[in-house]
Structure 1
Amino acid sequence: MHEINPAMQECIDNCLRCYSVCLRTAMSHCLEAGGKHTEPAHFRLMMACAEICRTSAHFMLIGTDHHKHTCRECAEICTECAADCERVGNMQECVDACRSCAESCREMAA
């Protein structure tokens, strides 16, 4: 069985939280708010962010070294998503979740 160290466990937790927050925010807040919140590029970015977060967590949980690749991409997408959610406005929970995930994924990718 592979060992999950505390830093990796924190990254898994951050990824799963970001996955949950992005998906939930997109499906409830954004769809209900409309306007800038449902611009195709913004909405696609939120879906991509949720999916890469889920995938990165999964790769760490199954114990493959390929998690370094998914985490690198996850950090990039989360950073982009945080900036875009900030631009759209009224999405602080998503901004915070994305930033936390990006930070821990950058450490895992190193």
Structure 2
Amino acid sequence: MHQISSEMQSCIDECLRCYQTCLGMASNHCLPAGGKHVEPEHFRLMMACAEICRTSAHFMLIGTPEHRHTCRACAEVCEACARSCEQVGDMDDCVTRCRRCAESCRKMAA
């Protein structure tokens, strides 16, 4: 079994929290709120963010060096999702989670 460094474990945790937050907010906040919360571009971005976060965590957990690629993509998608959530408004949890995850993923991608 490969050893997971504390920095990688921290990134896995951030990815999983971001996955949970984006999926949860999309389903339980955006869908009921309607309006700009469910505009296709925003909603797709939230779905994409949740999925790339889950995938990045998965790649780190299985110990493949390709996690650098998923983490790089994850950081980009998280930043885009944070911007979108900021524009939509009333989504501070998502913005915070996405920015933290992006920062952590950038370190893992380096």
Does the TM-score normalized on the shorter chain lie above 0.5? yes
The match for 1:44 is 44
Amino acid at match of 2:86: E
Structure 2 residue 4 is the aligned partner of structure 1 residue 22: no
Amino acid at match of 1:81: C
User: Percent same amino acid at aligned positions?
Assistant: 71
Unaligned runs of 5+ in 2: none
Per the alignment, in what secondary structure is the counterpart of residue 56 of structure 1?
helix
1:94 to partner: Cα distance: 0.3
TM-score, length of structure 2 as denominator length: 0.99
Structure 2 residue 110 is the aligned partner of structure 1 residue 107: no
Amino acid at match of 2:83: A
Q: 2: distance between equivalents of 1:34 and 1:43? A: 10
Q: 2: distance between equivalents of 1:19 and 1:103? A: 15
Q: 2: distance between equivalents of 1:77 and 1:38? A: 18
1:17 to partner: Cα distance: 0.1
Calculate the aligned-residue CA RMSD, in Å: 0.3
The number of equivalent residue pairs is 110
The match for 1:35 is 35
Q: 1: distance between equivalents of 2:48 and 2:90? A: 20
TM-score, length of structure 1 as denominator length: 0.99
Structure 2 residue 86 is the aligned partner of structure 1 residue 86: yes
1:18 to partner: Cα distance: 0.1
Structure 2 residue 61 is the aligned partner of structure 1 residue 64: no
